[in-house]
Amino acid sequence: MIQEDLFKKLIAHCKEYGFIFQSSEIYDGLSAVYDYGQNGVELKNNIKEYWWKAMVMLNEEVVGIDSAIFMHPTVWKASGHVDAFNDPLIDNKDSKKRYRADVLIEEHIEKIKAKISKEVDKAAKRFGDSFDEQMFISTNPRTQKYNQQIEEISTRFIKSLEEENFEDIRNIIIENEIVCPVSGSKNWTDVRQFNLMFDTKLGSLAEGANTIYLRPETAQGIFVNYLNVQKTGRMKLPFGIAQIGKAFRNEIIARQFIFRMREFEQLEMQYFIKPGEEEKWFDIWKEKRMKWHQAMGFAPEMYKFHEHDKLAHYAKAAFDIEYKFPFGFKEIEGIHSRTDFDLSQHQKFSGKKMQYFDNETNESYVPYVVETSMGLDRTFLTILSSAYREEKLENETRIVLSIPEPLAPIKLAVFPLIKKDGLPELAKEIMDKLKYDMNCHYEEKDSIGKRYRRHDAIGTPFCITVDHESKENNTVTIRYRDTMKQERVPIEKLQNIIKEKIDLKILLEKL
């Protein structure tokens, strides 16, 4: 399927089957803000549970917190977000559209990379089995020229960003003849910095200091509580604090559905370590987090690491875990080496000591931090993108979401074959027993085939049908989502058959 079509289909599917709705839809919606529907919220909660158990339950030295969204405004001054959490923006004077200058340049680089791939494909066809891709790329004059262009643009762009030389960023756009995708023109304004934090007013603060921010990351709630947790939990380094919560960013180019939102959810963990051990822990957490994603069982080649060349203001090293969305490889999680930047800044701005006393060495120091920061909404989108399939059957096409069983919104659908002869009563009786162990759904409308299709489309892994034979010998047919195989099983065995297949342990044991 063409990837663009797949993405459009996914968006439509999310709406049609109660996963995601546009926020305030009856008022024409609010750009880049979405609501999760009855199936979406279940999937989202299951992802959160999988993450929480993987981070907090499986790692003895990691504990969780839930900090407030509103924080003292000085937090954001100390963290650097007031001064440095900016995007460089540029407007096209003809289309009146606003863009992130860095994204325009990155997209231009991607286009040059695509030209290299085209040359490689052509040559591979020409040379057949004897083709050596690396050799070709390094010796072919055209690919050499393209690589040199990429190198020149990237180096100049990173330097300009570091020096906040916005005039040069604009010049890169002009000199590379980057045009507005809407108007096609090169009629650009100057580049300006734009802070991504939303602000609001808090009545009770002293005059002049009443502007507060909606947090742009959950991490700061962890940093300011690090000593509270360390002391009350008698934690010894290394230890981690995990948190799940909403974050808010006034994104300028909010597109690609739930990929870039203005209100989204993060799952973050700050791992506090002894200075000097950051490389070791960075590598450990990088691998652990990749494993977490891959344990869901989708094709491993859908994930890759990407090393940042443009670092956030707090980071010393950063890798993204990227997923191959229908619109290309994009970040779903960041692993950052944040040094003692945040804790030292809070120590400076609050005047409170942020040091840890190390019993073993008898010294006090500010710990270093390695952070793992995953976007819930983006992870949700990876699952839907990988799980969505259109299968050609004899007389129809079935749409199925092959969501890993432990994460599926509804685990079991219970159908009476017909709406009489005591079958609905027996079906409900079965469901009443099983509903304590799994999310069940009862349906009696339409043919069994239609009911199967509806549940395939929302990823329900098991459907059982209660028929006349069920009344005679206490058995039902169970039907499996992915294989569509059906078998007769005793009612009393249902709980065991299904429970072990939907247990999160299946994913957790792979970590």
- Tell me the window of 201-209, 258-266, 399-407, 432-440 that interacts with ligand GAP (CB under 6 A): 258-266
Strands 368-375 and 462-466: unpaired
159-192 as b/e, with b when 16 or more CB fall inside 10 Å?
ebbeeeebebbbebbeebebbbeeeeeeebeebe
Cis amide bond preceding 238, omega within 30? yes
Residues 6+ apart with CB under 8 A from 340: 275, 366, 367, 368, 369
Residue nearest to ligand GAP (CB): 375
The contact pattern for ligand GAP, residues 207-226, with x = CB under 6 A and - = no contact, is ----------x-x-------
d(CA 234, CA 476): 53
Using CB atoms within 10 Å of the CB of residue 16, give its burial: 0 to 12 exposed, 13 to 18 middle, 19+ buried. exposed
The number of beta carbons lying within 10 Å of the beta carbon of residue 208 is: 6
Question: Which is nearest to 506 in space by CA: 387, 404, 370, 377?
Answer: 404
At closest approach, how far in Å is the CB of 275 from ligand GAP?
A: 20
Nearer to ligand GAP, 81 or 481 (CB): 81
At closest approach, how far in Å is the CB of 22 from ligand GAP?
A: 15
Nearer to ligand GAP, 176 or 218 (CB): 218
Nearer to ligand GAP, 219 or 242 (CB): 219
Chain positions 277 to 336 lying near ligand GAP, rule: CB under 6 A, are 331-334
Using CB under 6 A, count the residues that bind ligand GAP: 19
At closest approach, how far in Å is the CB of 197 from ligand GAP?
A: 12
Nearer to ligand GAP, 44 or 170 (CB): 44
Interface with ligand GAP, residue 373, by CB under 6 A: yes
The three-state secondary structure class of 88 is: strand
Nearer to ligand GAP, 64 or 186 (CB): 64
Using CB atoms within 10 Å of the CB of residue 485, give its burial: 0 to 12 exposed, 13 to 18 middle, 19+ buried. exposed
Interface with ligand GAP, residue 42, by CB under 6 A: no
Interface with ligand GAP, residue 82, by CB under 6 A: no
Using CB atoms within 10 Å of the CB of residue 500, give its burial: 0 to 12 exposed, 13 to 18 middle, 19+ buried. exposed
Interface with ligand GAP (CB under 6 A), residue from 44, 170, 249, 411: 249
> CB–CB of 87/100 below 8 Å?
yes
| CA distance between the termini of the chain | 32
Nearer to ligand GAP, 98 or 156 (CB): 98
Nearer to ligand GAP, 266 or 402 (CB): 266
> CB–CB of 338/234 below 8 Å?
no
d(CA 317, CA 336): 6
At closest approach, how far in Å is the CB of 417 from ligand GAP?
A: 44
At closest approach, how far in Å is the CB of 84 from ligand GAP?
A: 12
Interface with ligand GAP, residue 378, by CB under 6 A: yes
Interface with ligand GAP, residue 385, by CB under 6 A: no
Interface with ligand GAP, residue 342, by CB under 6 A: no
Interface with ligand GAP, residue 366, by CB under 6 A: no
Nearer to ligand GAP, 264 or 452 (CB): 264
Nearer to ligand GAP, 216 or 424 (CB): 216
> CB–CB of 48/238 below 8 Å?
no
Interface with ligand GAP, residue 264, by CB under 6 A: yes
Q: Is the dihedral of CA 250, 256, 259, 264 positive or negative?
A: positive
At closest approach, how far in Å is the CB of 256 from ligand GAP?
A: 9
Interface with ligand GAP, residue 245, by CB under 6 A: no
Nearer to ligand GAP, 102 or 377 (CB): 377
Residues 6+ apart with CB under 8 A from 84: 313
Hey, what's the torsion of the CAs at 416, 420, 426, 428, to 10 degrees? 70
Interface with ligand GAP (CB under 6 A), residue from 88, 221, 238, 375: 375
- Tell me the window of 44-52, 137-145, 184-192, 366-374 that interacts with ligand GAP (CB under 6 A): 366-374
Interface with ligand GAP, residue 102, by CB under 6 A: no
Q: For binding to ligand GAP (CB under 6 A), which residues are involved?
A: 217, 219, 249, 251, 260-261, 264, 266, 268, 331-334, 371, 373-375, 377-378
